[in-house]
Structure 1
Amino acid sequence: MKKLKHIKQHIFRIAFAFAVLLFVLSCKSTKSVIDSGRASDKLSAKQVIKQHQKSDADFKTLQGKVKIDITQNQNEQGSTFNLRIEKDKVIWLSAKLGLARMMITPEKVRFYNKLDNEYFDGDYKLLSDFAGVDLDFYKVQNILLGQAIFDLKDQQYTVSVNENSYALQPKDQNALLELFYLINPSHFKMDSLQLFQQLKKRILQVDYKSYQEVEKQILPKDIRIIAVEDSDEVAITMEFKSLTLNEDVRFPFNIPAGYKEIVIK
């Protein structure tokens, strides 16, 4: 538990380390998506999964801004970051004046924080320990894009209608890790991702409050992430704005000399 709290303190200080874990209207190509569809009990799990997979946003690059607020133990901290993504390759975040910067790739997680003169350069264990589930680049990317974090072809699922969402769950739930997806009937992106570890008393829940259309692609607009262990809770809200797609982007990242490395044991 002390280890987990230590991890959360680092994540809280840099304010964006789980941008694991998109947006206020600001350009003509962006508009809010109105949920007008109605969930039908006639659709099978395979049909819902097929529509969800077709909903995956198709782009090469994405850039914009994301406002991130983190609340832990009644303390709240937040800021707005520049966001850049090269799909399946890089996710990059930078605070104002470059005071904090993060870059994750399929190989590693890297960030530095000029306020505390510290940096992290390692694997996904930091984010995985925070979330309570093994994460990798593609799972983090899928969370940001409103897609299922596990391959839905890996096992059989059942479907039911839950408050106008399609509720998908594995036909054979893992007793150690229960998984639920709520799928939106209008655009078939996720309404919610819920992971429960009863024995460890851990919960990870990602709720998609609203979506928007950006250049004919459906992307999250407001996301709320809640991670709970026993009575310890961290809540992250993400609001994405000023998004554009398929423009040339750069990913500058250099850890300043003399910074102290964050080591997670």
Structure 2
Amino acid sequence: MKSPQIKKLLKLTLTVCLITIAFGCKSAKSIIASGEASNQLSAKQVIKQHQENSADFKTMQAKVRIDLIQGQKEQGLTFNFRMEKNKVIWLSAPLGLARMMITPDKVRFYNKQDNQYFDGNYELLSDFVGVDLDFTKVQNILLGQAIYDLKDEPHKVAVNENSYALQPRDQKALIELFYLINPSHFKMDSLQLFQQLKRRMLQVDYASYQEVKNQVLPQNIRIIAQDNSDEVAITMEFKSVSLNNEVRFPFKIPKGYEEIIIK
């Protein structure tokens, strides 16, 4: 991993992988967004509805189809996904050829095809994305929730193509952040984060949602991460979810593997 270009692309791919470990549903029903955004709703009212509609569950398991597009290359695979809310997110390729597990303290994965592994924290990803990334923010993105606590600072709202366009009243000089909130279920339609000076962009679009045991969860997501001219896009189709069952998170880095170190 000596080439700076390879390092940059690996950072980009790792970032996108972490924020796209998503989920779908078995015996779920798609939600038809029939609500209409109203100019009469204040930013505080939109925030209240968004927070009240946060998904409530203990565990989740699913199969998720993830397609990665990087330049002219496209590849896809169906993974097993498991989550214990606020504690563990786990992803496994068929036959255990690759696994990823993230916790509030660790980011870990290994790849049996390349005999390599990564064992680190969120510092690398936080530096790349340009925000203080942690487990909670990753989890919130997966659940269609805002990455920051919306009550921490004043926001303003406007109607934009039948979504509530929510943004901090005082945008930071280095980072611009926008949320588009759906008027039907008040989950995110889109998260958009821009760093103009560094030419970085992160966009998460929620094409559709579904209802699983009275919980509203993302059904189709597209994520785009851009660093200068380098871009990675991931699309996901979520299937076969079950909630609140007992789940295990087997993870052990095989001996003799080469550690991936990015400086």
TM-score w.r.t. length of structure 2: 0.94
Quote the Cα distance in structure 2 between the aligned partners of 1:128 and 1:90. 19
Quote the Cα distance in structure 2 between the aligned partners of 1:191 and 1:91. 23
Counterpart of 1:223 in structure 2 is 221
SS in 1 for 2:79: strand
Answer yes or no: is the 8 Å Cα contact 1:22–1:222 preserved in 2: no
> In the alignment, does 2:31 pair up with 1:17?
no
Q: 1:187 aligns with which of 177, 185, 188?
A: 185
- The residue type equivalent to 1:89 in the other structure is K
Counterpart of 1:248 in structure 2 is 246
Please give the residue correspondences for 1:1-265 in structure 2 after superposition, counting only pairs within 5 Å.
3=4, 5-9=6-10, 12=13, 17-20=17-20, 27-28=26-27, 30-265=28-263
- The residue type equivalent to 2:133 in the other structure is L
Quote the Cα distance in structure 2 between the aligned partners of 1:251 and 1:173. 39
SS in 2 for 1:256: coil
- The residue type equivalent to 1:211 in the other structure is Y
> How big is the alpha-carbon RMSD for the aligned residues of Structure 1 and Structure 2?
1.9
- The residue type equivalent to 1:93 in the other structure is L
CA offsets 1:63-122 (integer angstroms, 9 cap, x no match)? 001111111111112111100000000000000000000000001100000010000010
Question: How far does residue 228 in structure 1 lie from its aligned partner after superposition?
Answer: 1.2
Question: How far does residue 242 in structure 1 lie from its aligned partner after superposition?
Answer: 0.3
CA offsets 1:135-169 (integer angstroms, 9 cap, x no match)? 11011101110000011111100000000000000
Answer yes or no: is the 8 Å Cα contact 1:99–1:115 preserved in 2: yes
Quote the Cα distance in structure 2 between the aligned partners of 1:174 and 1:188. 25
- TM-aligned CA distance change 1:43 to 1:16, over 3 Å: closer
- The residue type equivalent to 1:177 in the other structure is I
Quote the Cα distance in structure 2 between the aligned partners of 1:158 and 1:166. 10
Quote the Cα distance in structure 2 between the aligned partners of 1:198 and 1:181. 17
Question: How far does residue 16 in structure 1 lie from its aligned partner after superposition?
Answer: 7.5
Question: How far does residue 17 in structure 1 lie from its aligned partner after superposition?
Answer: 3.2
Quote the Cα distance in structure 2 between the aligned partners of 1:206 and 1:97. 29
CA offsets 1:174-198 (integer angstroms, 9 cap, x no match)? 0100000000000000000000101
Aligned length: 261
Structure 2: give runs of 5+ residues left out of the alignment: none
Structure 1: give runs of 5+ residues left out of the alignment: none
Quote the Cα distance in structure 1 between the aligned partners of 2:10 and 2:183. 38
Answer yes or no: is the 8 Å Cα contact 1:194–1:205 preserved in 2: yes
Question: How far does residue 23 in structure 1 lie from its aligned partner after superposition?
Answer: 6.1
- The residue type equivalent to 1:112 in the other structure is Y
Quote the Cα distance in structure 1 between the aligned partners of 2:214 and 2:183. 18
Among all aligned residue pairs of Structure 1 and Structure 2, give the percentage whose two residues are the same amino acid: 69
Answer yes or no: is the 8 Å Cα contact 2:9–2:230 preserved in 1: no
- The residue type equivalent to 1:48 in the other structure is V
